[in-house]
Amino acid sequence: MRTDGPRAWPVALVCLVPLWVVASAASRGRGSVFFAAGLAGLALAVWAFARGRRDVLYRYVYVLVLAAAAALAFEAVLYVRPTVLRGRLANIAYNGYHWQRGGIYALDEHRGPVLRPRVRRTMYWNGHWWRHETGDAGWRGPDVPQADAVFLGDSMIYGHGVDEPQTACARFGARTGTTAVNLGQQGTCQVQSFLTLAHHAARLRPRLVFASLHPTDLDEAPRLYDEGELRAFADAPEDAPYVPTVRPEYRPRPWWSPASVWTRFIALPMRCSGLMGALARSNHPGARAAEQFARDPFVPTAADVDAAVPALAPDAPEAVRLPWRAERRAVREMKRLCDRSGARLVLLDLGYPRTFTQAVEALAHELGADYSDAGRQVLARSQAGERVYLADDGHWSPAGNDAMAERLARYASDDED
């Protein structure tokens, strides 16, 4: 006996809500695929219902509602008892370093991930929780019409692991009584930092520009830009600099892309949505890399200080040295931009590895920029027993950021003189 098909559609419409929850929980980036698969399964169940197999639709509804209830229950657990997850899974599930729904990034054709404006959320990594907030301008900290100083760099400058008032930039502003803007961002290289400075310089008109270089810049540059783009940027004529384009996976998605529509407007920003991907990526080299910082207290070892930096070796293959050539060109463009606007460029670094910090100092002297040994001073304080790095992490702690600001504050008084 055939059953009138249209009776199934009210049930099917009700199913869209738990399907929405399940697809949102399944994946941040590929939730649209799960939603489409769920719709296909629902269509088959409705088709079977129309031919007398009501049990197919009822079982589908039962499983879908059960899965949605389980996802919501687990999501509640992650908010009430976030310590239920630890290690790599917690890092991936709780951090906001992504551009899907609930993440802190948007995508730019030339800079790749950039901080989204008007975002407020809690962040997590390696046992540390902090509050991330951006205003209309899209940098961490309050909006200001003009800045005395800007800070450029990766997660060390952004303030990974600490609240905004505890960052090096904020502590510098508090110590010197100046307006300082934090343009730092996790996982960036100097190519991105230069483009970020160029984007904001005309508006902010800073007198001081602090650019923090980090050895991981040499990994980030080829991750974000392919070899051809890095070479075109590094080798462009001095009077016609080249603006590189990031790899396709870091470019903005078309507005009509199903994945873009899903991640931007439809998906629920669920913590558990990153868990399936976290399980798949828990053995990824990038996830395992965090384990090398599992020290409490964190103190750089002699091996860390003496570590070789292949990109700096004069006899390394050209492809290996290319990221450093691109970094040098980016800093040279920063210096040119600062000279045109009357700003003072100050280079700084983490203080180790020794070969990298020496290369940064040499680059500053070569370009006529200032070099600050603040990173080396913080390293020395760590080796003397002060807790200037976050436990099990290696980023500057609030005390480390204050030590950096204390050392950098002299540039504010020098600039006034």
Q: List pLDDT tens digits, range 352-402.
A: 999 999 999 999 999 999 999 999 999 999 999 999 999 999 999 999 999
Question: Residue 104 above 70 pLDDT?
Answer: yes
Share of the chain above pLDDT 90, in %: 74
> How many other β-carbons are positioned within 10 Å of the β-carbon of residue 56?
18
Q: pLDDT > 70: what percent of the chain?
A: 93
Model confidence at 288, in pLDDT bands (50, 70, 90)?
low
Contacts of 301 (CB under 8 A, 6+ apart): none
Give the start-end residues of each E strand in 126-161. 128-133, 149-152
Q: What residue spans of 95-131 are helical by DSSP H? A: none
Tokens of 352: 């180790």
Q: Is the pLDDT of residue 5 over 50?
A: no
Residue 115 CA to residue 98 CA, distance in Å, equals: 10
pLDDT the model gives residue 14:
86
Judged against a pLDDT cut of 70, whether residue 285 lies above it is answered with no
- Higher model confidence: residue 272 or residue 218? 218
Give the mean pLDDT of 87-103.
86
* CB-neighbour burial class of residue 348 (10 A; exposed 0-12, middle 13-18, buried 19+): buried
Place of tokens 């075109």: 232
Least confident of 39-43, 342-346, 396-400, 412-416: 412-416
13 token code pair: 């419409």
Identify the pLDDT of residue 4: 45
- Identify the structural domains of the chain with CATH numbers, from first to last: 5-80 (no CATH), 92-264+291-416 (3.40.50.1110)
Sign of CA dihedral 100, 165, 176, 376: negative
Per-position b or e across 162-174, b if 16+ CB within 10 A of its CB: bebebbbbbbbbe
| Average pLDDT of the residues of the chain | 91
Kindly provide the b/e burial profile for residues 62-101, where b requires at least 16 CB atoms within 10 angstroms of the residue's own CB: eebbebbeebbeebeebeeebeebeebbbbbbbbbbbbbb
CB 57 within 8 A of CB 8: yes
pLDDT computed for residue 54 by the predictor:
87
Looking at residue 1, what is its pLDDT?
A: 38
As beta bridge partners, residue 113 has: 107
User: What is residue 308's predicted lDDT score, i.e. its pLDDT?
Assistant: 95
**Is the preceding omega at residue 353 within 30 degrees of 0, hence cis?**
yes
Distance between CA atoms of residues 127 and 76, nearest Å: 19
Cα-trace Rg, the chain: 25
| pLDDT (average), residues 36-48 | 92
- The span from the CA of 345 to the CA of 244, in Å, is 23
pLDDT score at 388: 98
At residue 83, does pLDDT exceed 70? yes
